[in-house]
Amino acid sequence: MDINRIITDKIIAILERGATHQGKRWTGATNHGIPTNAKTGEQYRGINILVLWADMADRGYATSQWLTYKQAAELGGQVRKGEKSVLCCYYKTVAKKGDPDGTEGETFFMAKPFWLFNIAQIDNLPADVITTMPVTSTPFTPVQEAEQILVNSQAQINYGFDSAYYSRTQDKICLPVPERFTTAANFYATALHELTHWTGNETRLNRSFGKRFGDDAYAFEELVAELGAAFTMGNLGLADATVESHADYVQSWITVLKNDKKAIFTAASQAAKAADFILDKVTTRSNY
């Protein structure tokens, strides 16, 4: 009896069933609107609109509100360390030499630079400054034990993005705001998925699959992250902890598992280590 093959085939069957009913865990932003200064309420104009729209698309911001570094500080906010600004410009009327007040003679326009940060890059802003992008009809209700895990991890978690991801180079997690998730369970499943990725950093569990899985290494790490989230969700007693109900890389996973009958065991083992790392400060949990 080939136990490895039997168990792997069962997992593949689960994933293949789940592949038919995938769905987003959070709502999309329907309209970003014209980029606006979050302090003055004024809309940006001309080329700055295109520059800011492009930056939003590149970085996945879910809000079109912006501030200068000085404005953020004046509002009590703090631009996070390492965040990059976007260069914009305005045109100032300048008198030519010999005509200092510009009342007579010729003038010309001179481009002057200024730099903006999206409010998703800024901490501690007043609540009335932040405009939340579309929310679900049901208010978000935090789960205390899950919140404690996120806080106790001491991971850098930033909110206000159109997508969820972990940046290994910057060692930070980016998420949509909790209110955009269809359920609280979906929020925590997503946050814990990215937190599982976070555990794989070389300063923590130092997880890498390139040598064994080659081109499929990225998809395999996603499988580990999803299993890690499912294990953690299950230990918290939260619903929606089944792998097939929210898999984003199902077909890639199926390919990996069909090619390597022991892959699911490796994935489960690595996911269990990640879940242990995440649940380290939770006193009561089940075995998996």
**Quick one: pLDDT at residue 245?**
45
**Quick one: pLDDT at residue 153?**
94
The per-residue pLDDT for range 10-38, each reduced to its tens digit, is 667 767 765 554 556 776 554 467 789 99
**Quick one: pLDDT at residue 9?**
74
State if pTM tops 0.85.
no
Which secondary-structure segment (H or E) carries 281? none
Please write down the long-range contacts of 221-224, taking CB distance under 8 Å and 24 or more positions apart: 221/197, 222/248, 222/249, 222/252, 222/253, 223/249, 223/253, 223/256, 223/267, 224/196, 224/200, 224/267, 224/270, 224/271, 224/274
For tokens 């990215």, name the residue: 194
The per-residue pLDDT for range 180-220, each reduced to its tens digit, is 888 888 899 899 999 999 999 999 999 988 766 666 788 78
Residue 265 has pLDDT above 70, yes or no: yes
Q: Is 67 exposed, middle or buried (0-12, 13-18, 19+ CB in 10 A)?
A: buried
**Quick one: pLDDT at residue 137?**
47
Please give the full DSSP string across 134-167, using - where no structure is assigned. Answer: ---SSPP---HHHHHHHHHHT--EEE-BSS-EEE
Instruction: Report d(CA 191, CA 200) in Å as an integer.
Output: 15
Instruction: Report d(CA 66, CA 225) in Å as an integer.
Output: 33
Q: For residue 63, which of 173, 161, 179 has the smallest C-alpha distance?
A: 161
Q: What is the mean pLDDT of the chain?
A: 80
